[in-house]
Amino acid sequence: MKKSIVLLALAAAGCASQGVLVSDMGSFHVGGREHTVRGQPVKTVTFTPGGAPATIDPNGVYQVEQMYVQWFKPARERGTLPLLMWHGGGLTGVTYETTPDGRPGWLNYFLRQGWTVYNSDAVERGRSGWAMYPEVFKGEPVFLTKENPFERFRIGAGPGSYNKDPARMRLLPGSQFPPEGYDNFTKQGVPRWTTTDVPIIAAYTALVDRVCPCVVLAHSQGGPFAFRVAQARPDKVKALVLVEPAGNGDAARAAALKDTPILTVFGDYIEQDARWPTIKGNVVRFLDEVEKSGGKPEVIDLPRIGINGNSHMMMMDRNSDQLAGVIQNWLAGKGFVR
């Protein structure tokens, strides 16, 4: 990673004795609404052993569907707009932090490149909290077994390829995913609903209204959210970087994105997968609609540019810095880097 060493040096240049990553940081919650519960019995709860019992009346007004956002200002600002990072389903903003095998992730990479970054947890995930169900969220939360993403995210070579022992996992040939980090990756997973798209999109839209104009980088389930929020706020979302989006936008409103620079990145092993040809096909059809309406969306199939072995969790793959570099170069080419 000669390049990132150079950039590290650049970042450090502003500063005397040590590398500097962040000049300021903070967090906030955005969006959400109030929900009223009526007709439930009063409970007495002792929250802490040795504490005093408290009376909890479940009837009343609850805060629900807000979203947690953590922001970081780089030591040396070089991005022309803030970069918003939206994670995928069943995960949180942790996706972009330290990789499961312990290397700096895309959050640190883009901070070193001089971007102000807003990293969020979608509604109902992580530090955004979740609401009672079925009263507020419909349906049940989905929990994934440890082996499920191993196959579904194109890390393992099909059914039965998972093994708790990294040495005995059967990875796809040439896989860049670090098997020694897989167990840590499963610790990043959180329960998720499949019925919460509306409040999730509402909170992302509230974030965009608060901190944009901006560039949105979205992964997997974050992709369709980013498409739809950009369609609702084409004046505020100035560019979209979609990392294996798991769904598309509103085809009827494809024209809303005709002036938005869009980069979509797909990894390896898609054609041979049971589900990914369908998922990618849907996305490409949507991008075709954007193109017909006058847009110029760009798609990078990593294997076609000679980058092989990438899983759906490419920001955690061994070559994560190289992939971030591909995105950084595209953003620079569009004039978003000073």
* Positions in 282-311 near its own copies (CB under 8 A): 282-283, 286
Question: Measured from the CB of residue 334, what is the shortest distance to its own copies in angstroms?
Answer: 26
- Site for its own copies (CB under 8 A): how many residues? 93
Give residues 54-73 in contact with its own copies (rule: CB under 8 A).
54, 56-63, 66, 68, 70
Tell me the residue type at 46. T
Judged by CB under 8 A, the chain residues 85 through 124 that form the site for its own copies are: 89-90, 92-94, 97-98, 102, 104-105, 108, 121
Residue in 109, 110, 118, 130 binding its own copies, rule: CB under 8 A: 130
Provide the pairing of β-strand 43-45 with 54-56.
antiparallel
- State the first-to-last Cα distance of the chain, in angstroms, to the nearest integer: 22
Here's the x/- map for its own copies, 205-244, by CB under 8 A: it reads as ---------------xx--x--------------------
Based on CB atoms, which residue is closest to its own copies, 248 or 310? 248
Contact between 9 and its own copies (CB under 8 A)? no
Among 6, 9, 180, 194, binds its own copies (CB under 8 A): 194
What's the min distance (Å) between Cβ of 23 and its own copies? 5
Report in angstroms how near the CB of residue 229 gets to its own copies at its nearest: 15
Q: CB under 8 Å to 76, separation ≥6 — which residues? A: 10, 11, 14, 20, 114
Q: What DSSP designation does 148 have? A: H
Of residues 138-167, those binding its own copies (CB under 8 A): 141-148, 152, 164
Distance of CA 250 to the CA centre of its chain: 20
CB-wise, 198 or 305, nearer to its own copies? 198
Separation of CA 308 from chain center = 22
**DSSP string spanning 17-63?**
SS---EEEEEEEEEEEEEEEE-SPPPEEE--STTS--EEE---EEEE
**Does 202 contact its own copies by CB under 8 A?**
no
Instruction: Decide if residue 8 touches its own copies (CB under 8 A).
Output: no
Is the CB of residue 110 less than 8 Å from the CB of residue 81? Answer: no
Q: Which residues, at least 6 apart from 170, have a Cβ–Cβ distance to it below 8 Å?
A: 156, 157, 160, 161, 163
In this complex, which beta carbon is closest to its own copies, that of residue 48 or of residue 306? 48
Q: How far is the CB of 110 from its own copies (least distance, A)?
A: 13
Distance CA 186, CA 202 (A): 28
Closest to 194 measured CA to CA, from 131, 247, 141: 141
